[in-house]
Amino acid sequence: NPEAIMFAGNLYGQGSGGYATWFSFDGTEDQVQDDPKMKDYNVDQWVDKVVQDALDQYHHSLTEHQIWAAGGDFNYQNSDHWFNNLDKLIHYVNLNGTVNLFYSTPTIYTDSKLQNPNTNYQLRTDDIMPLADDAHDYWTGFYTSRPALKRQVRKSTNLLATARLLEAYTNITLDQVENILKNTGQQRPAPRVGDGFTDGLEGAVSLATHHDAMSGTERQSVTDDYELRMAEQAIVAETGISLAIK
């Protein structure tokens, strides 16, 4: 089935934990200095590095089209610094004329890689798991590890969906829910989050569905914290549901 075929490949080079190419403008120490009057003028060095790396990658790729991923977790917090330097890099590399550098998308890249019908890519029909990125580091446990946390995330997600519908339909507020908890002798078990009684559970579920949470890659104490947050906020959501259906 052609619709079930997935085009995949490895990113070439190292950077940002393997997610990106070698360069990064997340800090302030790296920059493309294009003022020739400045002592740290470095356009020639940047252009030469990009061109040489592009030519090296060309010899490890089936086509001349390359994807250079930039950034990773917590990058682009200073997006102005990032894109100001990327704009300069693209401009001066293209003036060199050896390679053509431009902002792109995964779709443009994939279409470019597949446009030559004479290029034969390796076809794999097996499961890529177990996948390892080091001698003893396998990316398989996230399917089965911490089953209790996975179940709690699933149950909490179902609870959140129900609570959201009733909250929207009845306009029950967090203040009303907190009053119920106080009147029944229950101390509110979690800090107030937002104005809706589902906001707290939404935050807890969102946190627990991070790829380093529900996957089970975190330490046990962190897992305990995820579970506690969902359990606390579930009490609030359940109280809101009970109030809404009365």
Place of tokens 């917590």: 74
Query: In the prediction, which pLDDT does 171 show?
Result: 93
Query: In the prediction, which pLDDT does 15 show?
Result: 62
Query: In the prediction, which pLDDT does 22 show?
Result: 76
Q: What's the N-to-C CA distance of the chain in angstroms?
A: 52
Average predicted confidence (pLDDT) for the chain:
87
**In DSSP terms, which residues pair with 134 in a beta bridge?**
137
Q: Return d(Cα 52, Cα 47) in angstroms, integer.
A: 8
Q: How many beta carbons lie within 10 A of that of residue 188, not counting itself?
A: 16
Indicate whether 85 pLDDT > 70.
yes
**Greatest extent of the chain over all pairs of C-alpha atoms, in Å:** 75
CA 114, distance to chain mean position in Å, is: 26
| 25-59 per-residue burial string, b: 16 or more CB within 10 A, e: under 16 | bbeeeeebeeeeeeeeeebeebbeebbebbeebee
